[in-house]
Amino acid sequence: MKVAASSLRKGAVVDMEGRLYVVLTAENIHPGKGTPVTQLNMRRISDGVKVSERWRTTEQVERAFVDDRDYNFLYNDGEGYHFMNPENFDQVVVPDDVVGDLSSWLQDGMKCVLSLHEGVPIAMQLPSRVTFEIAETEPAVKNQTASSSYKPAILTNGARVMVPPYIASGTRIVILTEDGTYVERAKD
């Protein structure tokens, strides 16, 4: 199926000359002069080689047919990351290289979208936002403005994020999984 290059996002799978690639990052660039382009950083599924491609935003790219399904995360062990299909309870093991740096945002029972090609997991998408508790952070400094100052914090999963100065240890916060940035305090 042909799609416009500008519509490709992280996790999409494209077919170039008979080989499958998963999109790691997608950026639409609009220079002051010239035609807009889409810059894609991709990983070849067969051997893990990373490549970078650039297309005009209007060019058509062959998108590979993959089976996207909801799976629940179960656990991680030496074999890989285990997921279960909630409809038929089939389990799938996803290798470390497919999960990549998204592993720090995985939580027990989290619903994720796995892309399977011929029964083999090739890509994973997490929910756009996740909630974590802050394990430790520096105490708030009196008379510090909240305008543009942030302080480091360590979450219960061990990840480091920058949070506003009024956030204290034990506070639950919402994080964007795409880049690991603070969004807001959790409302629960």
Does the pLDDT value for residue 102 go beyond 80? yes
pLDDT of residue 72: 94
Does the pLDDT value for residue 82 go beyond 90? yes
What are the tens digits of pLDDT across the range 106-162?
888 999 998 887 788 888 888 889 999 999 888 776 666 555 678 889 999 888 999
CA-to-CA distance for 188 and 42, rounded, in angstroms? 37
Does the pLDDT value for residue 12 go beyond 60? yes
CA-to-CA distance for 145 and 175, rounded, in angstroms? 22
For the beta carbon of residue 157, count every other beta carbon within 10 angstroms: 15
**For residues 163 and 173, is the Cβ–Cβ distance under 8 A?**
yes
**Which residue is associated with the tokens 């090739």?**
122
Q: Which residues contact 60 (CB under 8 A, 6 or more apart)?
A: 2, 3, 4, 5
**Average pLDDT estimate for 33-38:** 88
Residue 97 is inside which H or E element, if any?
A: helix 96-99
The band of 26, judged by pLDDT with boundaries at 50, 70 and 90, is confident
Q: Provide the 3-class DSSP secondary structure of residue 9.
A: coil
pLDDT of residue 70: 92
What are the tens digits of pLDDT across the range 143-157?
665 556 788 899 998
pLDDT of residue 84: 94
